Structure 1
Amino acid sequence: MVGNVIKRHDRVSSSILHLSLLKLALIILRLNPRKRSHWSAIIFTFPKFSLILGGVASGKSRFAESLVRLANRPRTYIATAQAFDSEMEEKIKQHQMDRGPDWSTIEAPIAVPEALAKVDDTQVVLIDCMTLWLSNLILSENCPEDPSAPLLSVVKSSNFPIVTVSNEVGHSVIPDTKLGRRFQKDQGRLNAKLAAEADLVVMVTAGIPKVLKGRLPANLT
């Protein structure tokens, strides 16, 4: 009888202690932003698959690069852009300067699933971007009915984190050409399928991230 009372008392005391420590930690985190960011980074588990959405020049690529750096892994950049004119050449150069030299780059305007399959498990991968990849597929006249299927198959079987960047085209006007309307529809469907599989989905507007799915560390919110 006495033994059972002592055991119950010990359990209650232990629960009170845990609650007190939790309350103390919450108070510290509220009062000290640096501690909050520090502990958030520790608790934060880097997502296996992330989708970063945004309009043109919204800051989505810069945000995605900041997210990738939090993985603390060697970084691989899968580039889908092709420099068909001087303007695109300058844009690609600017992206390279913004990223810095500490990235391995794979040029894959069409063969993104194949490029992913060759990446070492120690890496974190940024694919920039899904929009150019889809447009390249459509213009090649060899676009599968569901381009997300081979990509997501590799994503699911991979053992490293993957961050993808894509344009949100649903907020724009309806194109006045048949090809434009097809692209807008296919891009919307591709984004929806990627978002359904993603652990983290973020919309970036005017450089400000809004989490649609999952969770970010405090120092990226």
Structure 2
Amino acid sequence: MVGEYHAVPDVPRRTLVTGGARSGKSLEAERRLEAFPDVLYVATGGSRDGDAEWAARVHAHRERRPGSWRTAETCDLVPLLAEEGPPVLIDCLSLWLTDAMDKAGAWDDERWAAEGERALRERVGELVAAVRVTARTVVAVTNEVGSGVVPATASGRRFRDELGRLNAAFAAECEHVLLVVAGQALVLRG
């Protein structure tokens, strides 16, 4: 309605929520935006046809979100961040990175050495630059994989290393960075 006043919650413009598997990261990210009447929830995991466990996770996430929130299933984050609009919750950067590495050919050693690493660095750089200049409030979820067992495969180690680089670059653009452990949010910055 024209002329109607809506109080805008006092939250940092950019927040990164990280932690281990099933630590409560997504729930914590949702809490950060629950006072906003409209939020664009960007799911980067896509649908995994035939995967009942994945479908149950997606369903649980959808059920706990407010009905006024919209959902977009995409890994094309840069255009979304360039648009004006309601706050954006990105869940999650780890799955975004998997898609980016797929497109860059990062799982193939020869392609990675020839062009994949450069292509991935460009895509990550574009995302980080978009986060830096966006006018939207952004809360992003990501996994913390650098504290665990060293992956047994070269591609697993590559993913771990690239996620560490992405998380560090994204966090550098955020006013607020949280680490969620056992459902408890620890403030790293903010």
State the TM-score, normalizing by the size of structure 2: 0.82
**Equivalent residue in structure 2 for 1:145, among 106, 112, 121:** 121
Q: Quick one: distance in 1 between partners of 2:37 and 2:130? A: 20
In structure 2, the residue corresponding to 1:140 is in which secondary structure? helix
Per-residue deviation, 1:146: 4.5
**Equivalent residue in structure 1 for 2:164, among 185, 188, 205:** 188
How many residues align structurally? 168
Aligned pairs for 1:179-218 (under 5 A) are: 179-214=155-190
The answer as to whether partners of 2:30 and 2:65 remain within 8 angstroms in 1 is yes
Q: Quick one: distance in 2 between partners of 1:67 and 1:129? A: 15
Aligned pairs for 1:93-132 (under 5 A) are: 93-108=59-74, 110-118=75-83, 120-121=84-85, 123-132=86-95
Match of residue 67 from structure 1? 32
**Which structure would you say has the larger RCO, counting Cα contacts within 8 Å and 6 or more residues apart?**
2
The answer as to whether partners of 1:117 and 1:154 remain within 8 angstroms in 2 is yes
RMSD (Å) for aligned C-alpha atoms = 1.8
Q: Quick one: distance in 1 between partners of 2:134 and 2:20? A: 28
Per-residue deviation, 1:64: 0.5
Return the index of the structure with the highest Cα Rg: 1
Q: Quick one: distance in 2 between partners of 1:102 and 1:45? A: 20
Runs of 5+ unmatched residues, structure 1: 1-41, 215-221
Runs of 5+ unmatched residues, structure 2: 1-6, 106-118
Task: Please list the CA deviations of residues 136-163 of structure 1 after superposition, one character each: whole Å capped at 9, or x if unmatched.
Answer: 1112336522443111222222212100
Amino acid at match of 2:98: S
Per-residue deviation, 1:114: 2.2
Q: Quick one: distance in 1 between partners of 2:21 and 2:157? A: 18
Identity of aligned residues (%): 36
Amino acid at match of 1:169: V
In structure 1, the residue corresponding to 2:141 is in which secondary structure? strand
**Larger helix percent:** 1
State the TM-score, normalizing by the size of structure 1: 0.71
Match of residue 52 from structure 1? 17
